[in-house]
Structure 1
Amino acid sequence: MLAALGLVDTGARTIEDIFTGPSQWNPNGRVFGGQVLAQSVVAASRTVARDRPIHSTHGYFLRAGDVEVPITFAVDRIHDGRSFSTRRTQAYQRGVPIFSMIASFQTVDDGLDHQAAMPEGLPDPESLPDERELLGALPHPMARFWSARPFDLRHVEAPVYVGPAESRSAQQAVWLRARGRLPEDPVVHRAALAYASDYTILEPVLRRHGAAWSTPGLRAASLDHAMWWHRPARVDEWLVYVQDSPSATGGRGLSHGRIFTREGVLVASVAQEGMLRVPAEG
C-alpha cells in the first residue's frame, strides 16, 4: 500500500500538477478502487499547504484500471481561499480518465463540535478471527489476495467472502488497522483510511440480499465514493467501521459508513454507491 502511495512528481507545470504512481497486483488485473482513491488524495495533498488537511472528497470511478499500466494523476488547483482550498484530481491510463475526484482542504479551526455515538456492545478486535485465518488456506487466487492485504480486517458478524450471512441484515461492523507501523505523516494516515474505506463498504447490500462475494455470476463495481474526515486518527491502531445500506435498486446499492477509534471518537464518514448485479434464481 505504501509503495502505491509513493507518487512521483513528474515536474510538469502546466495548468495542472502531474504525478505518476504504480498499482498493486490484483489477480483479476483490475486496479483496486481504494488504491486509486488514496493516490488521488495524496496527489491533491501535495499541492496544498501542510496546515490545510483534507476534510472531504467526492469521486467517481469511470473505468476499470489496469494493474500493469502506471497511473497519471493530474491535479487542478481550482481554488485557494483564506481557510479552504479545492482541488480536482483526474487519474488517467492510456490517455483516458479512470477516476475523477474533487477534494476540499481546510485550515485547522475551532467551532461547534458534536458527534454520533459509537454502537455499544461491540466485541474487542482481539476476540475476532483475523481474515488471514479464514482465507489463507482457501485455494482460490482472490482468497489468497484478500488474505495478503495490507490491513487487518476483523468482521464482527461472520464475513460474506465465501457464503451468505445467516441473517439478512443490512448492517455490519468491521474492525481494521494497517499491518505494521505507518509514518507519522498525517497525509499518509488520511490516504490510508481512504484506501481501507473501499474494502467492505458494499457488503451490507450483499448481506441484505443473501449474497456473498463468491456468488456465481456476481458483478460488482464501485461507482462513486464520498468521504469526510472529521478528526485525526492513526490508521495503524484499531478503528471500527460501522456500515449500513439504506437502499438498493436498479442494479445499484448504496451504503453508509462511520469510522470510530477504539475509544469511540468519530474519525470519518463514508458513502458509496456500487453496481451489484446478482443472477436471478431459477
Structure 2
Amino acid sequence: MTEPLASLLTALDLTDTGARTSEDIFTGPSQWMPLGRVYGGQVLAQSLIAAMRTVPDERVVHSMHGYFLRPGDVNLPITFSVDRIHDGRSFSTRRTQAYQEGLPILSMIASFQDEDEGLDHQVEMPEGLPDPESLPNSAATLAHIDHPVAQYWASDRPFDMRHVPSPVYLSVEGEHVAHQAVWIKSVGQLPDDPDLHRAALAYASDYTIMESAMRRHGVAWSTPGLKAASLDHAMWWHRFGRVDEWLLYAQESPSATGGRGLSLGRIYSRDGRLLASVAQEGMIRVPGRT
C-alpha cells in the first residue's frame, strides 16, 4: 500500500473515547498538508465515519450536509462529537461536530436509511470523454515544479486525478467554460468495507469541485493572491461504487457572485451508474477581480 493511501486509512480509523452524556466522542489525526491547513475532505470523511459508528450496520448513509466553520490545524488532532438526533423505523439522523482545542471547525448532519426498493432513474453519464488511461496524471504535470504544494499534489495525495480537458493547476487552457470532468481513483486498493468507500468518496469529492467556477473565469490555482476555501458541502449517495476503480466526476458551476462560487457535481462509475451527487459553495477571492 502506498504511503498516501495508508495515511488516508489511518486518518479514517477513529478512536472511540466512549459516550459522554448524550454524545458519542471519537478522535482522529490530521493528515499533513503543505500549507498547514487541514484538507476539508478529510474532516468531512472523518465526521461521516464518526456518525457511521453510531448507527446499525444495515443503515447506510444517503445524504450529508456540512459547514466548514474554521480552518483546521494539521498539527492538532480532531475530536468528533456525535449527537444521535433521531432513530426511526427506516431512517437515522446524526449530527457530528468536529473540534480542535475546543473550537468547532466543521458541523455536519447526515441521514442513514435501511436499504429499500423504489423508483429508479438517473441522469446519464456524459458521452465522448477520453478514457482516464489516455490522460496525464498530476505527477506528469507538476513533478518538475520545486514548490511544496506542487510536490504534494504530484505524488502525496491518496487519489489519482485526471482532468478533462486539462487541469487548472498552472493555467486555464482552452475556452473559459463553467464545467469540467475529472477521472478519480485511489492510488491503491482499499479494504472491502462499503462504508469506508462511501467515506473515501466524500473525501475525494472536495478536491476539484470548486474548479468549475474557477475555470469559467480563467483562474488557476497558481493565480497570485488567490484565496479559496470550501464554505459548505452537501452530498447524496445514490448507488454503491468502489473508489479504487475509475470514477467520473462531472462538475459545473451555475453561479459565482459576492466572492463565492457554487459548484455542482455528479459522480459516475466507469460503466455509467450515477453513484453520488455533490453541491458546494466556496469562497473564491482574486485580487482585482469581481
Assess same fold via TM > 0.5.
yes
Report the equivalent of 2:217. Answer: 209
% identical equivalent positions: 70
Report the equivalent of 1:79. Answer: 86
Give the AA of the match of 2:101.
R
Please give the per-residue CA displacement for 1:163-201, whole angstroms capped at 9, x wherever unaligned.
123211000000001111101111100000000000000
Aligned partner (choices 13, 16, 27) of residue 20 of structure 1? 27
Give the AA of the match of 1:32.
Y
Aligned length: 281
Report the equivalent of 2:184. Answer: 176
1:222 aligns with 2:230: yes
Cα separation, 1, equivalents of 2:116 and 2:281 = 31
1:249 aligns with 2:257: yes
Cα separation, 2, equivalents of 1:160 and 1:104 = 34
Aligned partner (choices 168, 180, 190) of residue 160 of structure 1? 168
Report the equivalent of 2:3. Answer: none
Stretches of 4+ aligned residues off by more than 2 angstroms: none
Report the equivalent of 2:36. Answer: 29
Cα separation, 2, equivalents of 1:85 and 1:271 = 22
Give the AA of the match of 1:149.
R
SS at match of 2:153: helix
SS at match of 2:151: helix
Aligned partner (choices 43, 57, 64) of residue 57 of structure 1? 64
Give the AA of the match of 2:13.
G
Cα separation, 2, equivalents of 1:279 and 1:132 = 29
1:193 aligns with 2:197: no
Give the structure-1-normalised TM-score. Answer: 0.98
Report the equivalent of 2:149. Answer: 142
Cα separation, 1, equivalents of 2:127 and 2:44 = 31
SS at match of 1:38: helix
1:260 aligns with 2:259: no
Please give the per-residue CA displacement for 1:62-102, whole angstroms capped at 9, x wherever unaligned.
00000000000000000000000000000000101000000
- Structure 1 residue runs of 5 or longer lacking an equivalent are none
Please give the per-residue CA displacement for 1:99-137, whole angstroms capped at 9, x wherever unaligned.
000000000000000000001101111011111111122
Give the AA of the match of 2:17.
T
Report the equivalent of 1:127. Answer: 134
Give the AA of the match of 1:210.
G
Give the AA of the match of 2:111.
S
Please give the per-residue CA displacement for 1:121-165, whole angstroms capped at 9, x wherever unaligned.
011110111111111221111011111200010111110001123
SS at match of 2:59: coil
SS at match of 2:173: coil
Please state how far the C-alpha of 1:13 moved relative to its aligned partner.
Answer: 3.2
Give the AA of the match of 2:50.
A
Give the AA of the match of 2:76.
V
Cα separation, 2, equivalents of 1:13 and 1:55 = 27
RMSD over aligned Cα, in angstroms? 0.7
Cα separation, 2, equivalents of 1:248 and 1:153 = 24
Give the structure-2-normalised TM-score. Answer: 0.96
Please state how far the C-alpha of 1:12 moved relative to its aligned partner.
Answer: 3.3
SS at match of 2:191: coil
Report the equivalent of 2:95. Answer: 88
Give the AA of the match of 2:284.
L
SS at match of 2:162: strand
1:100 aligns with 2:107: yes
Cα separation, 2, equivalents of 1:6 and 1:145 = 22
Cα separation, 2, equivalents of 1:36 and 1:209 = 29
SS at match of 1:196: helix
Please state how far the C-alpha of 1:53 moved relative to its aligned partner.
Answer: 0.6
Aligned partner (choices 8, 12, 18) of residue 11 of structure 1? 18
Cα separation, 2, equivalents of 1:23 and 1:189 = 19
Give the AA of the match of 1:151.
F
SS at match of 1:142: helix
